[in-house]
Structure 1
Amino acid sequence: MSFFGNKRLIIVLVGLVLLITVMGYTSRERTSLTWPEMFVKDLFSVVQGIFYRPAQAFSDFIHDVQDAYNVYEENRALKASLDQYAQTAAELTMLRAENERLRDMLQAKSNLNKFQLRYAEVVARSSDHWNDVMTIDKGLKAGIKKDMAVITSKGLIGRIQSVSNFSSTVELLTNIERSNHISATILTEQTVNGKTTYLPVNGVVEEYDPQQQLLIMRKIPLGQKIGEKQQVITSGLGGVMPWGLPIGRVVRAQPDVLGLTQTVYIQPNADFSQISEVFVVERMVTVTPSGDLVPSQQAEVSGQPPATADSQPAANPAPAAGSGGGH
């Protein structure tokens, strides 16, 4: 028993000695490997190569799928941001346009403070009669009456053609006919004794040229000197339109066919294609057939009808130099 125990101890000691010897031998610097080392190394290299390539390919595939998914998510986020930006930009443009329109309307109301103005919005406009009529959201309940002048922040656009309780139809200047001519005044600029003054030249706006998009004013005395860019306003002589509403500016003047009077072509101030808000103007002073100037309310109470373009015109109060939106 003692022999076998000593024998196992001897074997363990010999094994340790051999292991230490091999470790010491293999740990030193060598120029080449032993054949067992080369065999084991080559065997492990082959086995690793067999399993490494498929594992690497699978890992690369998973990585590519993850990258593609990340790109998809980023692209979707960018598209959402782009859509939101486009919507925000559109809203900003609309707000800017609305702000500009409201500023113009406020400025126009400030400039026309001598008139009673009623604000209204355009609610309908027929594509078949785009340049003829439109509908606004104010009617009899808001004090709107037939033949009241209708303006935008830029100038006159037409008159009230018909009225219901809660809406009204506006006839535009582009649909001028014989029954709705407009008495107008050209503020001619003249220099007298070194001072610039504006002398009124009266006439009648009778027609609209759709090709040139110009209003045509006739019955201007031939001797009157009419220059380009001179301002045209309502004269108030017809008894319907109040005095001083801006219409446009002179483009050119030429003798008529008979050579007795002049025909003046006018560029309207207002853009008839883009109208969304308007002012309805109440005439504060009415010209009676007798030639007297009375407040509109008094004329209605007394039963005196307002003068028309064909009625006896009365001289309206002479405007102050440069008034009525002169140069």
Structure 2
Amino acid sequence: MPQFFLNKRLIILLVSLIFLVALIGFSLKERDDLTWPEQFVKDTTGFVQSIFYRPAHVVAGFFDNVGYLKDTYEENKVLRARLEEYALLETKVQKLEQENEEFREVIGELDSLSDFEPKPATVIGRNPDQWVEQITLNKGKQNGVEKDMAVITSGGLIGKIKQANAFTSTVQLLSSLDPKNRISAYIQGEEDIFGLIEGYDEEKGALLLKRIPHQAEVKEGETVLSSGLGGVFPEGLMIGEVTEVVADEYGLTQMAYVKPAADFYDINHVMIVKRTLISEEESGEASEEGGSE
């Protein structure tokens, strides 16, 4: 007998290989019923796979969720940044629209005026202790601003340039308590009645129109406008309306309380009104008036 067949290990290995090949060949056939060894192998394999599959699936799902959460977080950061930019842009747009609307309203007040050059300006300073006295604008001599020019809002006349610097200017409001602050004005009616805006009653919140002739018939609700007699201010700038008329302390003239058309407490954007043409006659009147405008 050959030596090959005497080796038990080789015989066992050969038999195992033959059995395995036969089993594989038998398993490859299409059959509805499996033998018990095949069922045992399949069940064992499936059980082992299920043991390793579930933890692996859980771990893979965990890392997928972490990646998803990270992506979501980054997307939310981008969206929040864009929302903040949008909110800021919306605020800027609203502010610009408001400024444009205010300037359009002010320009509308100037449509009826001739020989005057309007200069838009913005309030950049206001002292809380002098809130009804003066404001500071962002336009000065470099922009053609000069002393005593009229300053208006969409409501009407609010004051005049008290001091012009190179790049800024100070406006003295009509509500200023300075006794030297005077504006020529008239009450519009069947017959115009002239006087001077001199002073402000803080308690009543009204301008004081003084030096009204004692015989003049002034009615409540009548409109008060700038007269333009000084040659510096335009004629017809809205000042306010009469709320009350009283005689002065000597009974020689009358005084009217005038409710301002403009809001002196809320001023943001204004127009500085520069007169471009002044006749010699008007210049003489301005000199004679002695700075009432």
TM-score (norm 2): 0.73
Q: Measured at CA, do residues 184 and 76 of structure 1 come closer, stay the same or move farther in structure 2, by a change above 3 Å?
A: same
Structure 2 partner of 1:204? 196
Report the 3-state secondary structure (helix = DSSP H, G, I; strand = E; otherwise coil) of the residue aligned with 2:198.
strand
- Of 92-101 and 57-66, deviating more is 92-101
- Once the two structures are superposed, what CA deviation does each residue of 1:50-93 show, in whole Å capped at 9, x if it has no partner? 21121011111011112102211221221122122113212322
Matching of residue 234 in structure 1 with residue 223 in structure 2 = no
Task: Give, in whole Å, the separation in 2 of the partners of 1:219 and 1:121.
Answer: 33
1:248 is aligned to 240
Question: How many Å apart are 1:215 and its aligned residue?
Answer: 2.3
Specify the alignment match of 1:214 in structure 2.
Answer: 206
Judged with a 3 Å threshold, the aligned counterparts in structure 2 of structure 1 residues 119 and 27 are, in CA distance, closer, same or farther, namely closer
State the shift of 1:19 in Å: 6.3
Match of 2:157 in 1: 156
Given that 1:152 and 1:279 are in contact with CA atoms closer than 8 Å, whether structure 2 keeps it comes out as: no
- Asked if 1:60 is matched to 2:61, the reply is yes
Q: Secondary structure at the match of 2:184?
A: strand
Instruction: Give the Å deviation of 1:306.
Output: 2.9
Match of 2:52 in 1: 51
Instruction: Write the letter of the residue equivalent to 1:132.
Output: E
Superposition deviation, residue 283 in structure 1: 8.6
Tell me: CA distance 1:162–1:28, structure 2 relative to 1, closer, same or farther (3 Å).
closer
Q: Which residue pairs with 1:279 in the alignment? A: 272
Query: 2: distance between equivalents of 1:35 and 1:49?
Result: 21
- Is the contact between residue 149 and residue 160 of structure 2 (CA under 8 Å) also seen in structure 1? yes
CA distance in 2, matches of 1:222, 1:67: 88
Match of 1:294 among 276, 281, 286: 281
Q: How big is the shift at 1:169?
A: 2.7
SS at match of 1:93: helix
Contact 2:153 2:262 in 1 (8 A): no
Instruction: Summarize the alignment of residues 22-171 of structure 1 with structure 2, pairs less than 5 Å apart.
Output: 22=26, 27-30=30-33, 33-113=34-114, 115-117=115-117, 119=119, 121-122=121-122, 124-127=124-127, 128-136=129-137, 137-139=139-141, 142=144, 144-145=146-147, 147-164=148-165, 167-171=168-172
How far 1:149 sits from its partner (Å)? 2.8
The 3 A distance-change label for structure 1 pair 52 and 122 is: closer
- 1:78–1:309 Cα change, 3 Å: closer
Question: How far apart are the structure 1 equivalents of 2:288 and 2:278?
Answer: 10
Percent identity over the alignment?
Answer: 32
Question: In 2, distance between residues paired with 1:308 and 1:57?
Answer: 95
User: Which structure would you say has the larger RCO, counting Cα contacts within 8 Å and 6 or more residues apart?
Assistant: 2
**What secondary structure does 2:111 align onto?**
helix
CA distance in 1, matches of 2:58, 2:112: 80
Does structure 2 conserve the Cα–Cα contact (< 8 Å) formed by 1:242 and 1:284?
no
The 3 A distance-change label for structure 1 pair 211 and 77 is farther
Structure 2 unaligned spans of 5+? 1-14
> Aligned equivalents of 2:260 and 2:167: distance in 1?
33
Take 1:121 and 1:20, find their aligned partners in 2: how far apart are those partners? 97
- Which 5+ residue runs of structure 1 have no aligned equivalent? 1-10, 189-197, 287-292, 311-327
- When the two structures are superposed, what TM-score results if normalisation uses the length of structure 1? 0.66
| 1:306 paired to 2:288 | yes
**DSSP-derived class of the 1:94 partner:** helix
Q: Supply the RMSD in Å over aligned alpha carbons.
A: 4.0
Residue type at the aligned position of 1:279: I
**CA–CA separation in structure 2 for the residues paired with 1:161 and 1:167:** 11
Counterpart code for 1:181: R
